[in-house]
Amino acid sequence: MRMVFGVLSLLVVLAIIGSLAKKQLQAVSVPVEPSGTAASAPPPSGTPAQQSQQLQRRVADDVSKALEQGASRLENESAQ
């Protein structure tokens, strides 16, 4: 009797973990966008090292833009 309950509890736990994993994988999956969108980025080109450098440059540019916006916003608020 104990063995039956043990096996059933393992199956229940396995079912719960499977359903949670399925939900997580569905949440992470990339939605398919129509091919005619103008906002989509061009497909990556070059070697992985070049792609990495491009991504690093893009992130550095975005961070510097955000910092500049924050500084200008702070200056505007202090001027008022």
Task: Name the pLDDT band for 74 (thresholds 50, 70, 90).
Answer: confident
- Residues 9, 2: contact at Cβ < 8 Å? no
* Residue 6, pLDDT above cutoff 60: yes
- Residues 33, 40: contact at Cβ < 8 Å? yes
Which tokens belong to 4?
């039956």
Which tokens belong to 50?
């070049």
* pLDDT per position as a tens digit, 10-57: 999 999 999 999 999 888 776 655 555 455 566 667 888 899 999 999
* Residue 9, pLDDT above cutoff 60: yes
